[in-house]
Chain A
């Protein structure tokens, strides 16, 4: 079974703090993704990576950065957390070829106060 793990289920940070969200997958997937999920807005893509050290901006990259130094690990970084970044963050991974479905982690609910 593919397993995608995220470092924390719940996280509370203060405004201005630097926040690291870690994601690890164990199935040698080339592609990894970070989404945020907000009520009424669905999942919105923040960044994705299709190879080690490669990254592409998604639809809402502002205020975020990412790092992928190893194939299995994809980190999301909030350089200076703000209250409007309070959200559920979901990490996912997929193969480039078939099957194409994404495998998701359990999510991190981040609250910025």
Chain B
């Protein structure tokens, strides 16, 4: 069965510092995708970054990078130079399954608070 595990319910980080949010996954699929989403207090889910299982390079999008360690089945999100606006809930997710029936599994989330 597919599973996403986020072990950090909440984290604090000082403004301008980097922070790593942990995510481990479990799947028997050879082809899968890993995502991170941000959910501010307003409630909308915002896509941040994507990593394909066959991508050899770690994905980066601006201040976000995904530390993909396939053998360890981990896909940690690194936010560099944290800003107050980064305070939000962060979800790790995985897309897997066979063609035509892809489904997405989400973790339980990590609430990040950036301190001034």
Question: Measuring CB to CB, which residues of chain A are less than 8 angstroms from any residue of chain B?
Answer: 31, 33, 35, 40-45, 48, 50, 56, 58-59, 88, 90, 92, 94, 96, 99-104, 106-107
Contact = CB atoms under 8 A, between A and B. Distances in A.
Given A31-B102, A96-B100, A42 B47 contact: no
A64 to B, nearest CB: 15
B106 A50 contact: no
Contact of B108 (A35, A42, A106): A42
A42 to B, nearest CB: 4
Contact of A33 (B6, B9, B37, B104): B104
- Chain B interface size, under 10 / 10 to 19 / 20 to 34 / 35 or more: 20 to 34
Given A42-B109, A90-B45, A106-B44, A100 B103 contact: no
Given A104-B44, A106-B43, A106-B44, A43 B100 contact: no
B44 A99 contact: no
Contacts of A41: 108
A35 B45 CA distance: 12
Contacts of B100: 50, 96
A41 B4 CA distance: 12
B104 A42 contact: no
Contact of B107 (A42, A94, A106): A42
A94 to B, nearest CB: 8
Contact of A100 (B95, B101, B107): B95
